[in-house]
Structure 1
Amino acid sequence: MKILKYLFVLMMAYPMFGQEKESNLWNDFTYDIGNVFGGVGYAYSRPFHWQGNDWANLGYLTGGTLLLATVDDEVNHWKNGFREDIPDLVIDYGNEYGSPENNYMLTGGVYLAGLFTKNEKLRRTGVLLISSATAGGFLQQVSKRIIGRARPKSGESSDTFDPFHLNRVYNYDSFPSGHAMLAFSNAYAIAKQFHNPWVKAGIYTVGLIPGFVRVMDDFHWFSDVAFSTVLSIFIVESIDRYLDSKYDEKYNNNTKQVSWNLSFGPNTMGVSLRF
């Protein structure tokens, strides 16, 4: 599994220092790695503890995704009219940033910076980034094999499926979008560091680019990306609550200021954020 390989590389990146310093760093490191796996387990176990509003949000997410799926083919045809107008820099960024390799380079770098500078807040951010990427990455890899939705580039329509494969079948692995999930997980987690709503909005916008580009390049349908983006919020929020009990440092030195809800109705559908 790629995810486990990158975690192993992160562990092997730990350098050797003087004995006392090494011992302190090693204790912090092993504690944090334990919290990475603890956070993943916590996120996966949350459905067993959901209450009414949680199930309602899942229902909205499912209903909204199914509704978007009914217009996926039309959206795909419509976006072809302006694909060539998008700068190559944006396209390259969108395709490269959400890949697992680049994602773990970024998240691992954030974590190691916090570890070696003894900055607990930055360590916690790194743990949140790594555990969110791991939880989302494993989930989307399994889902692709179970669902087997055709990619737009396959030439098939959006309602074509080839499900239930142990091995990944390329061009039939569209749902969900790993790039969108990893990129927005990072953006959502990093935005927690800031008070300013405009800074948050800017970070969210950057995090949405990979999903947008994957739609433009026929790797995913619009509903794939929309579902993956909202699911990444579920995952980050869940793991962040778990980490509240593991670290003294809280974001912005107070209780969380971000709240979100799904909205779904005859004329409205979306995610509302308050920060």
Structure 2
Amino acid sequence: MNTLNNHFNKKNYLLISILALLLLSKVTFSYGYSFSDSLEIKKKRSYLGSYFSDAGKLYSAPFHWTGKDWFKAGVVAGTGLGIYALDDDIQQWSVSDRTKASQDISSVAEKFGNTSSTTIALGVTLVSGLIIKNQKMQDISLLALKSSLLSGLLAQTIKNIGHRSRPNSGNSKNSWYGPAIGGKHKAFPSGHTATAFALATTLSQVYKDKKWIAITSYSLATVAGFSRIHDNKHWATDVFAGAVLGYFTSKTILKNEKKNGREISFQPSIQFTNPALTVLVSLN
């Protein structure tokens, strides 16, 4: 049991460390190395209140789409149908080609889409921001947390509408049981993937001038999505839909944040100092 607990703690520590690194905006170390940034946020509505308005925007979005938006939705739907035709082949390939190494990687990758793990990681980052009195770090943590939680809420809503069987249930990919509250058939869409891509999109948009953050975030989200196929918990279309849902949720929230006066920009720099030398390196 202790070995399992240590293994679990290591995975969560890894997740917390990576998220903290991506969210870090200002930390001063004892040997004279610091991050600094400029992050302007104008608050015109409460954080908790923004959950209701953002959720409303998410659920009502299709009623406000333009012809261009519906075209994009059609392209996404068409791509999804193409993947749907390959669901069985992809599922059989992923199950037959599993190895010890792939299982270990999948076990770690799953944490990046696990709502409990990401909430803890963002909570730790938020508390760290409070301890070092870094308001910007707090704001980014709260924004990422909201994207994660609302993407999960939207994913659960769709799950309860479709009730698709998971591949490990033994049922076919065409097993949909229709609207119901609760139930065990909740494959579509992948909630893990939605959470992972919501976080990745939030970070990539806030740090849009830092390509390495976007590459790292989306890479981790993609691996998290593949882990759900690898573990036979989801069909490929579930993961694709989860990725689209997470992206859509984050983009909608960020658009609403800007509209309501919580405009976020991030321009970091690194400063090295000692008694004889001061060097400022811009990251722009």
TM-score (norm 1): 0.73
SS in 2 for 1:142: helix
Larger Rg: 2
Q: Kindly indicate whether the alpha-carbon contact (under 8 Å) linking 2:109 and 2:220 is maintained by their aligned counterparts in 1.
A: no
Partner of 2:225: 211
RCO greater where, 1 or 2, for CA within 8 Å and sep 6 or more?
2
User: CA-to-partner distance for each residue in 1:124-167, whole Å, 9 max, x for gaps?
Assistant: 32232222222211121122122111111011221122222222
1:81-230 correspondence to structure 2 within 5 Å: 81-84=96-99, 86-114=101-129, 117=132, 119-169=134-184, 172-194=185-207, 195-230=209-244
Partner of 2:20: none
CA distance in 1, matches of 2:129, 2:74: 38
1:256-267 correspondence to structure 2 within 5 Å: none
Aligned partner (choices 22, 42, 54) of residue 57 of structure 2 = 42
Partner of 2:94: 79
- For the structure 1 residues 207 and 54, does the alpha-carbon distance in structure 2 shift closer, same or farther, using more than 3 Å as the test? same
Give the letter for the 1:187 counterpart. A
CA distance in 1, matches of 2:54, 2:266: 21
CA distance in 1, matches of 2:70, 2:246: 16
CA distance in 2, matches of 1:106, 1:186: 12
User: CA-to-partner distance for each residue in 1:62-97, whole Å, 9 max, x for gaps?
Assistant: 221122111100111122232115444322222333
Q: Kindly indicate whether the alpha-carbon contact (under 8 Å) linking 1:98 and 1:182 is maintained by their aligned counterparts in 2.
A: yes
Structure 1 unaligned regions, length at least 5: 1-27, 254-275
SS in 2 for 1:150: coil
Shift of 1:186: 1.0
CA distance in 2, matches of 1:45, 1:113: 35
TM-score (norm 2): 0.71
CA distance in 2, matches of 1:135, 1:196: 25
Partner of 1:31: 46
Q: Kindly indicate whether the alpha-carbon contact (under 8 Å) linking 2:163 and 2:177 is maintained by their aligned counterparts in 1.
A: yes
Give the letter for the 1:221 counterpart. W
- For the structure 1 residues 55 and 120, does the alpha-carbon distance in structure 2 shift closer, same or farther, using more than 3 Å as the test? farther
Structure 2 unaligned regions, length at least 5: 1-42, 268-284
Shift of 1:249: 4.8
How many residue pairs are counted as aligned between the two chains? 223
